[in-house]
Amino acid sequence: MNTVVRILRMAARYRFRLGLGVVCTVIAANFQLLIPQFLGAAVDHAQSLLAGTGASPAEAQAALQWAAVMLLTAGVLRGLFTMIHNYQGEAIGQSIGYELRLAYFEKLQRMSFAYHDRVHSGDLMTRGMLDVEGIRRFVDGAMLRTIVLVILVGYGGYHLIGIDPVLGALALSFVPVVAWRAAVSSITLRRTWRALQERMSILTRIMEENLGGIRVVRAFAARAFEMAKFDTASDSAIVLAMRRIQIRYTNAAFMTFSYYAAMGLVLWVGSHKIIEGAITVGTLAEFLAFMAILQQPVRQVGMIVNSTARAFVSGGRVFELLDMDPAVQDKPGAAPLRLTDGVIRFEHVDFAYGEGEGASPALHDVNFEVGPGKSLGIVGPPGSGKSTIAHLIPRFYDPTLGRITIDGQDIRDVTLDSLREAVGVVQQDTFLFTATVDSNVAYGDLSADRERIVNATDSAQLHEYIDSLPTGYDTLVGERGLTLSGGQRQRLSIARSILLTPAIIVFDDSTASIDAATEQRIHAALKELTRARATIIISHRLSSFMHADEILFIDQGRIVERGSHEELLALGGRYKELYDLQADFGDDLGLAASAAAPEGA
């Protein structure tokens, strides 16, 4: 119930709309209750007119006309106020949906990488779309309709029992049956909704992965395999959907049967009462008209139950994320980073992915320091922890032990925004948005002018290519940058980072797809940029950092060798083996180019 209470509290923030909707709901229900009374009076007047008894024909006809006018007026006003309350309910629902989507998306932006590592994006998209829609539809599909049903059954039933207790009880005899079936189906539907949402998440995940890897699918002629996989997941979802449909319409049929059975009893008993003279034909018509009015709300009990069950499940899934505290977030009272020299230091840093017994150690007792104008090279076999170091500096993750400082300030004690403004990370896996080239380059500073953008792309050795395009910097980059080559995407990513001129810049294997000659031109162009900044270069290609002030060789999360290029060669250890291996496999041109590059490039 906490989920529904939270939704109701959100609806209560729209006081005017909610108040107007409730008032119009009450008024519409009361006008609807007047219709059976006017109809019953009209039947009695018509019978009197036909029988020629009682009042004069003129009086009976006038009364009949008056009853018809009142009936028409009640119907029109009921329709008008129903339209208003439906509009207000829909407006509140749409507003809540808008509010939740923004809150959900904002929370996703703040969740740590550790959360995104373990939750598939397909599930997150399902929650942000289908589950938010389920919450939105609760306000109009359940809340206001419940008010209508309560008024009609409560006040209408009281009125009818006051006229004739026996007929009133018979007219309402289907209500307990409906309530019982609604409660039973609510429990079942809530379970099936959760299972269906989870299966829809699987479908979304399969489709997202297929579209993201469509080139791989085509290259390996795996269309049949992908279709079979999607068909299996889709079949699993439709089986559950059909189960839900069966539950809903079986209960709806049972409710409708109980309704018509009650109406039959009212007609049978009421006809005997008319014969006995206990009631008039108009009174029986009033009872039957009231039951006819109840027919639609009773049929909507299934919709109310379904909307409520969906709100239970959908709200639980959405609020589960909204209530989470990001693993990496600003401490209370965190101050902006105060940059003085721009010195970054790792002090006995340990890190493991995950928690508890299932944690996977990635770094152990890592120590180093890089100051302005200095560069650090990091190399090691795949999975040794190189990229983990790059992820720890801007606090994508927090160290398990030890600390990381910038100018003596623990990065966990400063605001994330100020930290990430000071640290630029150029990653190997580049992501480009479906936007123009200049928009992608200026993503970190949307106010950057064209001159700054051109300078950044020129340093990244990409300006000449962009300038040769038919529309230059206004060229639209395709989804995930597929219109560019791997090397061009990496160079654009480099341009995006250096545009911000951060105090500390980290290259995480950011030139892996760039040929050695272009890489050396990039290093030469970045010489001025990195002269007064701390620079960390992570790469499997030794030519990327041979002239670094210090080089770390990492294996299994530990620093096994450290020193300058010459010192490590003289040591004759792992670094020397890698150097010889790359030279033997034809990378000697890259090494030679690096050797000829200026100091600090």
| Between 123 and 579, residue with greater pLDDT | 579
Q: Is the pLDDT of residue 592 over 50?
A: no
Mean pLDDT taken over the chain = 82
Q: With contact defined as beta carbons under 8 Å apart, do 306 and 299 qualify?
A: no
Q: With contact defined as beta carbons under 8 Å apart, do 271 and 170 qualify?
A: no
Domain ranges of the chain: 2-322, 345-593
* Whole-number pLDDT of residue 401: 92
Kind of pairing between the strands at 375-379 and 558-563: unpaired
* Whole-number pLDDT of residue 406: 94
| Between 389 and 601, residue with greater pLDDT | 389
Q: In this structure, which long-range contacts are made by residues 142-147, counting pairs with CB atoms below 8 Å and at least 24 apart in sequence?
A: 142/303, 142/304, 142/307, 142/308, 142/311, 143/8, 143/11, 143/89, 144/21, 144/22, 144/25, 144/85, 144/86, 144/89, 145/297, 145/300, 145/303, 145/304, 146/304, 147/22, 147/25, 147/26, 147/29
Give residue 586's pLDDT band: very low, low, confident or very high (50, 70, 90).
Answer: low
For domain 345-593, the question of CATH label 3.40.50.720 is answered with: no
Give residue 379's pLDDT band: very low, low, confident or very high (50, 70, 90).
Answer: very high
Give residue 589's pLDDT band: very low, low, confident or very high (50, 70, 90).
Answer: very low
Average pLDDT over residues 569-593: 71
Q: With contact defined as beta carbons under 8 Å apart, do 160 and 290 qualify?
A: yes
List b or e across 133-167, with b for residues whose CB sees 16 or more CB atoms inside 10 angstroms: ebbbbbbbbbbbbbbbbebbbeebbeebeeebeeb
Bridge partner list, 335: 414
Q: pLDDT tens-digit profile of 349-373? A: 999 887 766 677 899 999 999 998 8
Shortest CA distance to 94 belongs to which of 141, 58, 49?
Answer: 141
CATH topology of domain 2-322: ABC transporter transmembrane region fold (1.20.1560)
* Whole-number pLDDT of residue 478: 66
* Whole-number pLDDT of residue 582: 77
Q: Is the pLDDT of residue 381 over 80?
A: yes
Give residue 143's pLDDT band: very low, low, confident or very high (50, 70, 90).
Answer: confident
Give residue 596's pLDDT band: very low, low, confident or very high (50, 70, 90).
Answer: very low
Q: pLDDT tens-digit profile of 322-334? A: 888 888 888 888 9
* Whole-number pLDDT of residue 252: 79
Give residue 438's pLDDT band: very low, low, confident or very high (50, 70, 90).
Answer: confident
Phi, psi of 367 (to 5 degrees): -135, 130
Q: With contact defined as beta carbons under 8 Å apart, do 351 and 399 qualify?
A: yes
Would residue 513 be called left, alpha or beta, if left means φ above 0 and alpha means ψ between -120 and 50 degrees? alpha
Q: pLDDT tens-digit profile of 47-87? A: 766 665 555 667 767 777 787 788 888 889 988 998 998 89
Q: How far apart are CA 318 and CA 6, in angstroms?
A: 12
Q: pLDDT tens-digit profile of 162-185? A: 888 998 888 888 888 877 877 777
Q: Is the pLDDT of residue 260 over 80?
A: yes
In this structure, of 104-118, 400-414, 490-504, 511-525, the range with the lowest mean pLDDT score is 511-525
* Whole-number pLDDT of residue 250: 83
In this structure, of 56-70, 437-451, 479-493, 582-596, the range with the lowest mean pLDDT score is 582-596
